[in-house]
Structure 1
Amino acid sequence: MDIEQLKQYILCYSLNNCPLGNQGFNRVLIQLMGYLGHGKSSLINSCKYALHDKEFTTHAASGSADGGLTTVRNAYPLTHTITMVDNRGCATLNSFETGEFYTQLANFVPLNTGVEWTKEFDDVLNRLEDSDIEPNFSDIIVPVYVYSVKREIADNEVAELKTFLKTCRDLTGIFPIIVLTHKTSGPFSKFRDIFEGMGAEEIFSVENYTQEDNLKTLGRHLQFLNLIHKVLLNVNFRMSEERNPRKERAERKKFLHKFFHEREVKK
């Protein structure tokens, strides 16, 4: 599709038009994850800029390469159906940080609330139980992992990151889409090979628009529109089979209980 066709497809997208209808879902959440300062907030600004084609605006505040600004799971709607979700960047991807990401991907964390690396077992369980007061069954979450090619991946990180990405896939039914940022500042082809070795199915390399560099070009706009389009293709594929939102949420809750119990035993 050309750029105008991509825009129209995204702007008019509705879960009602999926092969079996919406099946109880009404929103697509594009959940961003990754390390501090790797470009998650800038990616949101870039996607909104490419889709709505207005003057560049800083919707999500972005930080420097060594420390992000986001501490809240902020929601940024792209359309009535599609919302991008910013996230607090992690520092080491330890079990406390991954536990928070899993809880979000399982849809047990409200949007626009602070992100904390919860360490106490009782606090975690109370949080899960509190979420059942007003449970959310209606979001389809697509995980997107953002990584800057400016940062090397240590050998000991590869196995941990591979496990993390696979768990995200098991929770959502979609393997995380990888977005490599700062593509002109490092060997992005090297990182593409590394993430492919982890099982990644979709990898995008982008140069985010910024306040200092926001000259619109066809190639950059297409990068971000194709990313959103790929998210929706993954949703369509998952929605081509029968779904039960309540049952799926219950299964995700079982996973979280097991994960946090095992984490507590190891601690």
Structure 2
Amino acid sequence: MNIDQLKEYIRFYTLNKCPQGNQGFNRVLLQLFGYLGHGKSSLINSCKYVLQDRDTEFTMIAQSGAADGGLTMERKSYQLTQTITMVDNRGCSTLNGYETGEIYAQLGNFIPLDQKVEWTKEFEEMMNRLEGSDVEPTFTDIIVPIFVYSVKKDLTDAETQEIKTFLTNCRNITGIFPIIVLTNKTSGNFSKFRDLFEGMGAEEIFAVENFTEEDHFETRGRHLQFLNMMYKVLEDVNFKMQKKIDPKRERAKHKIFLLTFLHKRDQQKNVKENSVLNFKQVRVGNY
């Protein structure tokens, strides 16, 4: 499809046209994740821009941060079309169990949109939040995880393993392997990171140069970067919707996964704290 055909398909996409119909779903959430300052907010601005009419001026609907300090502190939604909403997120400093626990809760739709993101460390606190989400549960969103990474940054072996585990868990929750969007493609070694994420199991990897206030020069190729990414997202949704899906059962499976994850996280935390305590007691005894 050419640019105009891609844009029209995305703008007028509806879950009603899926093979099994909408099955009780009415919205596609493109949920962004990633480290601080890797271009999540700028990606939203870029996607919104390319879907608008060509004579529309570039505007920043999502406030983006510079360098390593992201500005987003909440899970904030931006409607792209009648069906598609893009969701910005607080950037992670590290993909440890505390930050990923919050993310998995978001992927299971247990955390409301447009609220401040808190890295919850206490098991009881997260359990209370889960119980609260059952008062008015949300069943009607198909969530597609999108992992945003800047090729200007390097990765340690430990970070690579953290990301691999994270991506696999995202797939297990949503049924869709996270789309990888590599930003700042002209400022780093794109092929290196493409190979790295392919090794983690990534199926769709896109390299983009986000539109910004300083640089929103339009070219055909630059528009296609974002349109092709959104088109592939919708193809993944269509593939998932070929099967019979019960939204309520889906949410129940998500909750089981999250409860298991939180329980293991709490056990590991207790083991670590007990080890530190025993070590301190031994040192005191030796003196």
Return the TM-score normalized by structure 2: 0.92
Which secondary structure state, in structure 2, belongs to the residue aligned with residue 123 of structure 1?
helix
Residue type of the alignment partner of 1:42: S
CA distance in 1, matches of 2:30, 2:73: 17
Instruction: Tell me which residue corresponds to 1:31.
Output: 31
For residues 49-104 of structure 1, what are the alpha-carbon distances to aligned partners after superposition, in whole Å with 9 as ceiling and x for unaligned? 00113210100000012110000100000011000000000001111011111000
How is 1:1-267 mapped onto 2 (pairs within 5 angstroms)? 1-53=1-53, 54-267=56-269
Q: Which stretch of structure 1 is more off in the superposition, 167-176 or 155-164? A: 155-164
Query: 1:26, 1:61 → 2: CA distance?
Result: 27
The AA in structure 2 aligned to 1:266 is Q
Residue 74 of structure 2 aligns to a residue whose secondary structure is coil
Report the CA distance between 1:158 and its aligned residue: 1.4
TM-superposed deviation, 1:157: 1.5
Mapped contact 2:12–2:82 kept (Cα < 8 A): no
AA of the residue aligned to 2:240: R
Q: Quote how far apart the aligned CAs of 1:203 are.
A: 0.1
SS in 1 for 2:224: helix
Amino acid at match of 1:14: T
- Once the two structures are superposed, residues 188-247 of structure 1 have per-residue CA deviations (whole angstroms, 9 ceiling, x without a partner) of 110000000000000000000000000111111111111111110000000001000000
In structure 1, what is the Cα distance between the partners aligned to 2:174 and 2:33? Answer: 14
In structure 2, the residue corresponding to 1:91 is in which secondary structure? Answer: coil
1:18 partner letter: C
Q: Distance in 2 between matches of 1:159 and 1:69?
A: 26
**CA distance in structure 1 between the partners assigned to 2:231 and 2:111 by the alignment:** 26
Structure 1, unmatched stretches of 5+, are none
Helix, strand or coil: the match of 1:184? coil
Structure 1 position 160, deviation (Å):
1.6
Structure 2: which 5+ residue stretches go unaligned? 270-287
Question: How well do the aligned residues superpose, as a CA RMSD in angstroms?
Answer: 0.6
Question: 1: distance between equivalents of 2:119 and 2:128?
Answer: 14
| Aligned-partner Cα distance in 1 for 2:67–2:243 | 41
Task: Give the counterpart letter for 2:84 in structure 1.
Answer: I
User: For the residues of structure 2 that align with 1:160 and 1:87, how far apart are their CA atoms?
Assistant: 18
What is the letter of the counterpart of residue 2 of structure 2? D
Distance 2:158 2:114 in 1: 33
Larger Rg: 2
Amino acid at match of 1:175: F
The AA in structure 1 aligned to 2:191 is: S
Aligned residues between the structures:
267
